Every structure is written in structure tokens, then in C-alpha cells.
Homo-oligomer: A and B are copies of this chain.
Amino acid sequence: MKPKSRARMVDVAERANVALVTVSRVLNESPAVSPATREKVLAAIEELGYVPNLVAGSLASSQTGMIAIVVPTIGNPVFSETVEAMSNIFRSVGFEILLGTTGEPPGDESRLIENFLARRPDGMLIHGSNPTGRTRRLLASANIPIVQSGDLEEHADPVDMVVAYSNFRGAKAMTEHLLEMGCRKIAFVGRQFTWNDRSFARQRGYRAALTEHGLAVDESIVLECDLGFTEGTKALLKIKSRTPDVDAIFFAGDVWAAGALFECVRQGLSVPEDIAIAGFDDHAIAGVTAPRLSTIRVPRYEIGERAAQMLLQRISGGQTEDAVVDVGFELVVRDSTNRKKR
């Protein structure tokens, strides 16, 4: 049953003794086909092993059934969970996903987005970056719904729609919590501020909290570092050596915080008495370490879901929802910062 060259719709039509359109209708589940002919067509498709050509279909209908998703990296759980949420929703309604990563540090984001636009997706989801200039203009004139997600302030002036939370306010809330717990020498560890807007926002939140409480920022204990548990360990050691009487470290990522925590356990430092450790993201590990990590819970999965739903609603011509959705965050106080237990 294997044809020498791939079967086309005409071949199916011929075999079923119907017109080409009829085959098209069966495939697109048009109600205007009698059950009898429908069966004939289906049989012919089966016999020929026919697989429709959606690229031709897309050209003709100017709808591709594809959604472009742009994220910094897919290997980082912080992003992959959001992508998974999006993926689940799109899969359930028959859209397919064009996945692109800008890289960290960001590579040629503009080129990626333009390439995607050339594939005529029915919608676009951009997580964690905010295109400007030429790319932004192209996006705007692409005439498709676009949802940006990630940081709220960064997307103050969105191309189209936004689903986000405030990294600034989240970091500020955690820092204020640390202050409330009596900490005064609070260090901060984040990702490279220059090319990571979310990290930059978190760092600003940290600074704002200190400043508002009349505390100066000690630049020697504000660190940038790479990803991974061991980087958190290293950061802890560096900070302790520079400022032995540091009483808290706010890691803008739970993985670092966990890495530091493990090292504290090894060194016999008691957390939070000797030093408080705070994280960010509410990574799964934060809830299981000993002591358990205080963190800022970010609704990563919900962000993906909301973004996907807003996009679908717009694609199906539904009412435009609010252009900007703030999904918020939650300060989760666990053991690692709780210096005032009952």
C-alpha cells in the first residue's frame, strides 16, 4: 500500500470517485457531507496511507494552526513549566507549537522573532523579553494576537497583551520580611542584571526595601552569579568571607538558596538563627529541604495557562480581555527565615 510518491488529495478523490473538495470537507469535518461518501473517502485515505499536506492548506486558508512560543531557555524549569502549561492547552484544541529560545544571555532575539513571523503563526507567546524598535513594529503589524509574559513593569507598554507579576514587588516583599525578622545585614544574589530584566527588577526591589528602611546597600554583598546549586554555595562562601556578620542572604532563585542551605548544614551554621536564607520562585525543592526555604511563590503554570487562554480567545474572535493581567505572587514564609517561631 506504499505509493512510490506521496499520495495527494486528488489521488484520494479519484479513488473514492468524488471531487477534490469533498475530500477536503471530510478532512475538515464539514457537516455538509453525507455519511456514505464520507465513509468512501475515509476508506480511500486509509488505503492510500494519505497524509494531508498542511503547508498547502495553510497557504490556502492563511491559517497555520501554529502558535509561536519564545522563551529564554527551555532547560530551566522556571520556563519549561510555563511552556508545559501552554503546550497542554494548545494540544487540547489542536494547535501546534513552534518553539524558540533566545538563549541566556539573549542571542539574536530579533532574528528569531522575524523568522517565526515568516512562518505565519496564528498567535505568539513571548516570555521574558520585550522586543523594541524594528522587531516591535513587525510584531505589531503582523496582525496576530500576542501575549507577552514575565515581568510586569518591563511590560508596562506591551505590544498587545500581558500576563505577568511584579518581580520588583516580590523581591521587595521578601526583603521587607527579612527586615521584619530583625535582619540588618542582608546580602543579595541574583542573575546578571545587565541582560536579565527580571533579575534586575528583583535587585531593585531589594534595594528599594533597604532604602525605605533607611539602610544603606553594601555593594560588596550584592552578587551576580550563574545558575546551579553550586553557584549558591560559592556565593554563600564569598559573602561570609567578605562580611562575616551577615545575618541574611536573599537569593533571587531557590536553587541557589538550596545550594547555600546545604553548605550551611555542612558547616554547622544554623538557619535561620545564625543566618537567614531566602529564595525566590518556589521551586519544588524549597518545600522539602531541612530547614524548608522561605520563598516568593510565582504562579508559573498559571501564567502559561492564562497566556494561552487569552491568545485562544482572541484567535477565536472573542472579546478582548484586559490587556494586562497581574497574576501576583505570594510570600511563603517557611523555616529558613522564621526567626520568631511561636
Which residues from chain A sit less than 8 Å from chain B, CB to CB? 1-3, 6, 49, 51-56, 58-59, 64, 66, 69, 73-75, 77, 80-81, 83-84, 87-88, 91, 94, 96-101, 103, 107, 112, 114-120, 137-138, 140-143, 228-230, 233, 255, 258-259, 262, 265-266, 284-285, 287-290
Contacts and interface: CB of A to CB of B under 8 A. Distances in A.
Of A230, A266, A285, A288, most buried by chain B (CB within 10 Å of CB) is A288
A64 B255 CA distance: 39
Contact of A229 (B59, B73, B285): B285
Contacts of A255: 284
Contacts of A56: 59
Which 6 A-B pairs give the minimum distances between C-beta atoms?
A75-B84, A80-B80, A99-B99, A229-B288, A54-B118, A97-B99
Contact of A262 (B51, B101, B137, B288): B288
21 contacts: A1-B137, A2-B137, A6-B141, A49-B137, A54-B120, A55-B55, A55-B64, A55-B119, A77-B80, A84-B101, A91-B101, A96-B116, A98-B99, A228-B284, A229-B287, A229-B288, A230-B288, A233-B288, A259-B288, A262-B288, A285-B285
Copies in the complex: 2
Given A74-B87, A91-B101, A228-B284, A55 B58 contact: yes
Contacts of A284: 228-229, 255
Contacts of A6: 141, 143
Contacts of A233: 288
